[in-house]
Structure 1
Amino acid sequence: MIRLRDWLSLPLGLLTLRFLPELPSAWIIGLGFCIALLLWPYVRPFALFLLGLGWACVQGHWALEQRLPASHDGRTFWLEGQVVGLPEYSESVVRFDLDSVTSRHIGIPARIRVSWYKGPKVQAGERWRLAVTLKQARGSINPGGFDYEAWALARGLGAVGTVKAGQLVQGAESSLGGWRDQLRTRLLSIEATGRAGGLAALVVGDGSGLSRADWQVLQDTGTVHLMVISGQHVSLLAAVLFAGVALLFRWGIWPQTLPWLPVAVGLALFGALGYGWLAGFEVPVQRACLMVALALIWRLCFWHLGVWLPLLVSLTLVLVINPLVGLQAGFWLSFAAVALLILGFSGRLGRWTALVSLWRAQWLIAVGLLPLLLALSLPVSLTGPIANLVAVPWVSILVVPLALLGSALLWIPPLADPLLGLAGYLLEGLFQLLRVLATWQSAWQAPELSWGVRLLLILGALLMVLPAGLPVRTLGLVLWLPLFFPSTIVPAAGRAEVWVLDVGQGLSVLIRTAQHSLLYDTGPRWGDLDMGERLVLPSLRALGVQRLDRLILSHEDNDHAGGLLSIVQTMPVLEVMSGTQGALAQGLGAKDCQTGSTWEWDQVRFSLWRWEQARDDNQSSCVLSVEASGERLLLTGDIDQRAERAWLTSDGAGQADWLLLGHHGSRTSSSATFLKAVRPQAALVSRGWGNSFGHPHPEVVQRLESLGISLFDTAKLGALRLELGARGSLEGLRVRQRFWFRL
């Protein structure tokens, strides 16, 4: 007989996949299965662990094999597939997932995500034949950044692409996706005080109708979970249906010949599955429905086995079905939240009021999930407990029931419109309150913490969520002291830490000394995709940068200055300088980059140069030289070969140990004469993977190779880190390998 505690080994083995730097080979996995079978009669926990780990590795190999091969990267193929999920519309772009993809070419992934610029209206459930330029699903790798590649792998996305042409093959009239899309369109067309997008998020799980400002408010107040169909909404509906039958039975209204418990369980399960069906059964909803179903079955048949059984069984089943869900932050947060609630409420004494129970739940979530949020590099809302104390019952008890009832009655507009209108007004009122809280205190992005500090925070959180009255709870707060006095590792005097951030086809470089921070360029902005907001700011916060003493724009081209406004509006910047005086620089009162300007921070010397005879913005780029303990770094912006020749005649010309290639490695820069004069030991290039400009140009790469100059590329290596003045080597974050990283 297998004991319950033995089964803990199986999910632990499945979860280990998340932390593997690389997957073991097939023969090692097979050997592990054999060892597990041999040990089964003697050491079942270890055998279950090996079985779980082996199964997870098999699934990991299968997922990696479904990704686009390098030989197909950047090529255009005709393919056919079905639109799954709800398409997302943003300005003139529609983005959607294609599943069951077929093509006459070998190696095309079965599921991809595409963007169609100025494309037609696309509906879920339709089947299209498309000409798509495919690319590998690569993401930027930065300190504290979102891991796009892990997200894509967990969702089964083998590639991303841009649609060049297409034709509709089959409509979506009879499909679930088509029906959901029609319902979303109907909801978005309703006048509900501008909150129709929020109603669509709560009814069909589509958040594209909410603006970026709305999502920022939700993030700052820790209420994002309320606008996505999650376990909270699904379990609430099931609980309401179950409680309805239970109350009828308690009041003596229920028929005596009909057993109330099986009916209550069946009705609750039907409601949960129906809500999941309405939401499209995305992975988080599948997980929620499974957990609710197991909890109901446990209540019906296994009540005597304790409250932890349904959680453990659902955790194991979710991981067995798809071990890759462990790569998603939502998986960890959802199961951890349920575990915390069980832990916090199972040991209570006496009966609590509804308000006390609600506050207790918010306390458990806020304290218990904090270490996990920090470990996942997610922002922490300091106003979350207060916001959720109001928002959870507001949305769960008022808005969601009204929205669902109104949606069910859409075929009777005189009844549906008032219900949905009231739900919209209630949602708007909630957003007004959340905006006040978000203005008062935005979300906090903590710097990266050591593993030792993380373990202390976890232990402290576990102690603090224990039942009241236990004296060890105070010790939990003591273990949290390192969080209130964070220690960020800074360079020693005479050294500078340099980060060339991975911002795609653009540039942003952070330079830190012992007491100061400088940012050279801010990354690009493409439409609503602001790399300054999405990549640069999270990286600065993860590295513990609280303010910028100086922000230098090499020039005002979008790929160098696109993220400027989001940075200066969010983080204190003492001084802005620019190589060109365009609208951005003038609007911020930026100083000119003047040749010969020098300063020293913490025994690190900085100097500027700009070509006075420049004829365009690229030639006007502000060139920055940084020297620490005799080791020199040269940042050249987008200067071309004519500007390089002018620099060679300046007073600041000379050799450099490290050179950031001009214009992302364009052949109009980095001439052989310039490279021979600078004689760097290595060159750095910041560019986007598969960019349409062909950077770095093969001629530039050939020049570097002929001179024996090493090349470090953000597109291949992720963000690049260098400790200037230490005479050490340079490292790329992608080398800190996870098994899903492409090198």
Structure 2
Amino acid sequence: MDREVMSPGKASASGEVCARSPQRRLAARWLLLAWAGAALLAWFVPWWALVDSGLAAVGSAWWAMLVLGLALLALGAWRQGFSRWALLVIGVAGALHTLVPVAILVDRTPVFADRVDCQLKGKVVGLVDDRVDRRRLTFAVQTARAVDPDDRGAARVCQRLLPGGRLKLSDYTPPPGRVELIPGVRYDLKARIKPLRGHANPGGFDYRRYLFRHQILATGYLRERQPIDLGRASGWAAQVDRWRDAARSRLQETLAAAERRTADGPLSAGAALLHGLALGDRGELSDRQWEWLLASGTNHLLAISGLHVGMVAALAAWLVRVGWGWLAISRGWPAQRLAALAAVLAAWSYALIAGLSIPTLRAALMLTVLLLGVLMQRRWRLLDLWLIAFVLVMGIDPFAPLDMGFWLSFAAVLLIIVMIRGREGLWRPWELLRLQWLLTLGLLPLTWGLFDRVAFASLPANLLAVPLVSMLITPLALLTLFLALISPAVAAWPAWLIDGLGQRLFGVLGWLVAIFPDSNHAPPGPLVLALFALGVLWLGLPRRFPGRVLAIVLLLPALLVGSSRPAPGQFEAVVLDVGQGAAVLLRTAHHDLLYDAGPRHGRFDTGEAIVLPALRALNVSRLDRIVISHDAMDHAGGLASIRQAFPQAAVVGLTEGRFGVTGAGMACRHGSEWSQDGVRFSLLRAPRGSSNDRSCVLHVAGASESLLLTGDIEAAAEQWLLRHARLEADAVLVPHHGSASSSTTAFINATGARRALVSAGFLNRWGHPREAVTARWQAAGATVWRTDRDGALHLERGGVRAERAGQWPFPWRRPAASMHRLAP
């Protein structure tokens, strides 16, 4: 039987509500499920169907009225007994609730092929991510025009940035020259705008989905001068942003005061926990701290969760109930109802100061519905409460399903609801341990699929971290925030205590991550993962449910089935989409080799952000060699991160202690050869010339396919190799990203390649690959494939498969520029 959340009142109205027929309750559930299911399925409509549908012409106001009207029509049809028609109509309403705003966003997003300069007026939205090397902000456009009025292309793009449209902008001005950017304030600025684009690789973070989820129309960076302050923006959202920024400033003053008192240096752990738990701001987390949280399965604790919102609401309700009876005006006003109202107001206040993240919004909505039941003397079933909150979150934010926090938050609450049914001794220590174990196991399929992680340390880490963070550190963080608004000097004491607790917490998490197996594991395919999830849920049901053996059988495919590998004598290659750089994975029957490690640009390390997730997704558990073409940041910048993950891999091509190479690496010697699994690898290298010309070239020859990886060689090295090496290859990584100084006609003809693979950055400033170079390869009979257009390139079974071509055409994967064409 479902547990019920009920008020203690016994009014006749409550009895009438409880006496409603089961059919009426069933109707509401089915209508909500039909609406939610249709709204979720609508995300799978291809982007080109949305462009041609004309739904964008509906408009925001008419869209809301249309969806509401259809929902009321469905409710009326159900009440009249037309159940099938009601489900159909409510399904159409749910689908339109997703399709119309998505179509409007797709229609408003400009599609263009080059950077443009726009003069913008608008406001800063949300907190500014301010760092030493750069700061990033979200900018809501009010007006936009081209800086050069005679540039028709720029004018067309800038005019598409309609009022309310959002941009993600960066500012690379050194800190001494920056003006302060305050959220909720209007500015006049000049920015260079770039079309939306994200890397397309196996595994890794989907940046385009992130931008689409936050309704970003374009990205860019500030130009020439700093923004001009135009005064405060109007509206409650701008006011909340200013409050959040002021609270963050007070917390920073508090931390500075605590550092001066202790003289122990920066309070890194305290800053991370304070900002994360008080404001929902993860900007103070270091990369190592975030890795420990992910690997230990405790990253949910640094987001303001529903538990924290519930704690604030409960505290507010308790204070009102205790203090209300002492006031003279309390007579005739039930303390219970007033406490419920105070709890709702406190929950929403905390959710707003935390930025209305999905977990806080879900918790605030569930508390609101629950406590409204208290005010109305109404009972709620927990599953009904969960379903109402699920629908309301999607109703408020149609883009919420693109947020991974949406699924983790609702999945965790649903698992708790299912697991506590029929468990009377829930709060006994053993039952709490069992609940944590079941919750960890139940969320495993979701976290595995979303993050490519299996956090083996999750159970002991959560058993320690959940009570410590929820019962001690979070109340201290809220106290610190409250005191910081009054006096940062006074708030420095609890901030110092939080830092001490945080240092010990991160220390234990780091130790657990070190002693447990590596958490990075590629998830299986969708079908196998679905079977695994079903088996996990089956095991988590109460003991009276039969079929435990069958549940274990459902787990076996995910645990036993691995990815396929090339046959002996064959190899496969993956040219990763790392921007303006190179990283190529070579796979034989039993070995893996990496050629180049991707670039690093400031804090953005493609080795960590792109190459390693791709290796995990491709089930690479061991690298035998890493060949670095030459000592350049765009080819070796990601090496340190990769070496940290694969310390046993031998490095060829670097002999100095740079880029994470400890000790002496192995030099690239012309003519060196080795064989693995029937595939021959040969190193080629011109002895003289520039650093580019002395790139380490790798020739790979299998039984039926050959590949030439060329680094950044230019014309001089090409001529030397023509005289001193055999260059025949079925596929070639085009030298120097397609630079005009490479790919001479003689070199192209000598290779005889039919597949030319270009690793280049989207809209890179050098214009790679040059049109003349592309034309020369095509004139020689080669098909040109480009990572900036096609994503990662998979060379397998005598052909090339583009990563973008194999992806489902979700709305956020609309091409960023007029560069369409995938080679046959």
Task: Kindly indicate whether residue 229 of structure 2 is the aligned counterpart of residue 169 of structure 1.
Answer: yes
AA at the equivalent of 1:237? V
Asked if the contact 2:737/2:759 (under 8 Å) is kept, the reply is yes
Match of 2:622 in 1: 547
Which of 269, 276, 284 in structure 2 is aligned with 1:201? 276
| Shift in alpha-carbon separation, 1:443–1:213, aligned structure 2, 3 A | same
Asked if the contact 2:189/2:226 (under 8 Å) is kept, the reply is yes
The alpha carbon displacement at 1:220 in A equals 1.7
Within a 5 Å distance, the mapping from 1:618-697 to structure 2 comes to 618-654=692-728, 656-697=729-770
Within a 5 Å distance, the mapping from 1:249-648 to structure 2 comes to 257-282=332-357, 285-298=360-373, 300-301=375-376, 303-348=378-423, 350-353=424-427, 355-410=429-484, 411-413=486-488, 415-441=490-516, 444-473=519-548, 475-578=550-653, 583-584=658-659, 587-612=662-687, 614-648=688-722
The alpha carbon displacement at 1:491 in A equals 1.4
Asked if the contact 2:43/2:98 (under 8 Å) is kept, the reply is no
Identity in percent? 36
TM-score under structure 1 length normalisation: 0.92
The alpha carbon displacement at 1:84 in A equals 1.3
DSSP-derived class of the 1:15 partner: helix
Match of 1:17 in 2: 42
| Shift in alpha-carbon separation, 1:617–1:302, aligned structure 2, 3 A | farther
The alpha carbon displacement at 1:340 in A equals 0.6
Unaligned runs of 5+ in 2: 1-23, 59-65, 146-157, 260-266, 816-824
Asked if the contact 2:203/2:614 (under 8 Å) is kept, the reply is yes
Asked if the contact 1:578/1:585 (under 8 Å) is kept, the reply is no
TM-score under structure 2 length normalisation: 0.83
Separation in 2 of the partners of 1:715 and 1:361?
47
Separation in 2 of the partners of 1:324 and 1:175?
23
Asked if the contact 1:129/1:169 (under 8 Å) is kept, the reply is yes
Deviates more, 1:485-494 or 1:582-591: 582-591
Task: Kindly indicate whether residue 93 of structure 2 is the aligned counterpart of residue 51 of structure 1.
Answer: yes
Separation in 2 of the partners of 1:53 and 1:24?
14
Asked if the contact 1:291/1:311 (under 8 Å) is kept, the reply is yes
Asked if the contact 2:124/2:182 (under 8 Å) is kept, the reply is yes
Separation in 1 of the partners of 2:528 and 2:547?
19
Separation in 1 of the partners of 2:381 and 2:115?
54
Asked if the contact 1:523/1:563 (under 8 Å) is kept, the reply is yes
Separation in 2 of the partners of 1:79 and 1:647?
52
Deviates more, 1:680-689 or 1:583-592: 583-592
Separation in 1 of the partners of 2:575 and 2:583?
6
Match of 1:142 in 2: 201
| Shift in alpha-carbon separation, 1:176–1:241, aligned structure 2, 3 A | closer
Deviates more, 1:296-305 or 1:495-504: 296-305
DSSP-derived class of the 1:587 partner: coil
DSSP-derived class of the 2:389 partner: helix
Task: Kindly indicate whether residue 147 of structure 2 is the aligned counterpart of residue 75 of structure 1.
Answer: no
Asked if the contact 2:569/2:702 (under 8 Å) is kept, the reply is yes
Separation in 1 of the partners of 2:498 and 2:725?
69
AA at the equivalent of 1:594? R
Over residues 90-119 of structure 1, what are the superposed CA-to-partner deviations in whole Å (9 max), with x where a residue is unaligned? 222111111144213311261011110124
| Shift in alpha-carbon separation, 1:419–1:690, aligned structure 2, 3 A | same
DSSP-derived class of the 2:795 partner: strand
DSSP-derived class of the 1:457 partner: helix
The alpha carbon displacement at 1:412 in A equals 3.9
Which of 161, 167, 170 in structure 2 is aligned with 1:108? 161
Separation in 1 of the partners of 2:489 and 2:710?
66
Q: State the superposition RMSD in angstroms.
A: 2.9
Separation in 2 of the partners of 1:384 and 1:701?
50
AA at the equivalent of 2:741? T
Task: Kindly indicate whether residue 721 of structure 2 is the aligned counterpart of residue 721 of structure 1.
Answer: no
DSSP-derived class of the 1:730 partner: strand
AA at the equivalent of 1:494? G
Over residues 484-530 of structure 1, what are the superposed CA-to-partner deviations in whole Å (9 max), with x where a residue is unaligned? 33412111222212111111111000011111101000101111111
Match of 1:738 in 2: 809
Separation in 1 of the partners of 2:438 and 2:138?
37
Separation in 2 of the partners of 1:197 and 1:352?
33
| Shift in alpha-carbon separation, 1:591–1:441, aligned structure 2, 3 A | same
DSSP-derived class of the 1:634 partner: strand
Asked if the contact 2:793/2:802 (under 8 Å) is kept, the reply is yes
The alpha carbon displacement at 1:303 in A equals 4.9
| Shift in alpha-carbon separation, 1:23–1:14, aligned structure 2, 3 A | farther
Separation in 1 of the partners of 2:782 and 2:291?
44
| Shift in alpha-carbon separation, 1:520–1:343, aligned structure 2, 3 A | same
Over residues 587-633 of structure 1, what are the superposed CA-to-partner deviations in whole Å (9 max), with x where a residue is unaligned? 34221112222222222222110111x22221111111112223211
Separation in 2 of the partners of 1:457 and 1:246?
47
Match of 2:152 in 1: none
Separation in 2 of the partners of 1:608 and 1:486?
35
Separation in 1 of the partners of 2:419 and 2:375?
23
The alpha carbon displacement at 1:473 in A equals 4.0
Asked if the contact 1:82/1:125 (under 8 Å) is kept, the reply is yes
Which of 233, 236, 245 in structure 2 is aligned with 1:181? 245
Separation in 2 of the partners of 1:463 and 1:128?
55
Task: Kindly indicate whether residue 104 of structure 2 is the aligned counterpart of residue 62 of structure 1.
Answer: yes
Match of 1:711 in 2: 784
Separation in 2 of the partners of 1:328 and 1:378?
16
| Shift in alpha-carbon separation, 1:516–1:228, aligned structure 2, 3 A | same
Over residues 128-165 of structure 1, what are the superposed CA-to-partner deviations in whole Å (9 max), with x where a residue is unaligned? 21111111221111111111101110111111111113
Match of 1:96 in 2: 137
Over residues 458-496 of structure 1, what are the superposed CA-to-partner deviations in whole Å (9 max), with x where a residue is unaligned? 111111221244443454334223333341211122221
| Shift in alpha-carbon separation, 1:346–1:246, aligned structure 2, 3 A | farther
The alpha carbon displacement at 1:243 in A equals 5.7
DSSP-derived class of the 1:615 partner: coil
Separation in 2 of the partners of 1:520 and 1:275?
50
Over residues 62-85 of structure 1, what are the superposed CA-to-partner deviations in whole Å (9 max), with x where a residue is unaligned? 1212323215x4111111121111
| Shift in alpha-carbon separation, 1:559–1:302, aligned structure 2, 3 A | farther
Task: Kindly indicate whether residue 211 of structure 2 is the aligned counterpart of residue 211 of structure 1.
Answer: no
The alpha carbon displacement at 1:266 in A equals 1.0
Over residues 373-421 of structure 1, what are the superposed CA-to-partner deviations in whole Å (9 max), with x where a residue is unaligned? 2222442321112111121121111112122123222314564332333
The alpha carbon displacement at 1:295 in A equals 3.4
Task: Kindly indicate whether residue 104 of structure 2 is the aligned counterpart of residue 84 of structure 1.
Answer: no
Separation in 1 of the partners of 2:48 and 2:413?
30
| Shift in alpha-carbon separation, 1:184–1:357, aligned structure 2, 3 A | farther
Deviates more, 1:265-274 or 1:225-234: 225-234
The alpha carbon displacement at 1:172 in A equals 5.0
Unaligned runs of 5+ in 1: none
Asked if the contact 1:717/1:735 (under 8 Å) is kept, the reply is no
Asked if the contact 1:82/1:128 (under 8 Å) is kept, the reply is yes
Deviates more, 1:208-217 or 1:439-448: 439-448
The alpha carbon displacement at 1:301 in A equals 4.3
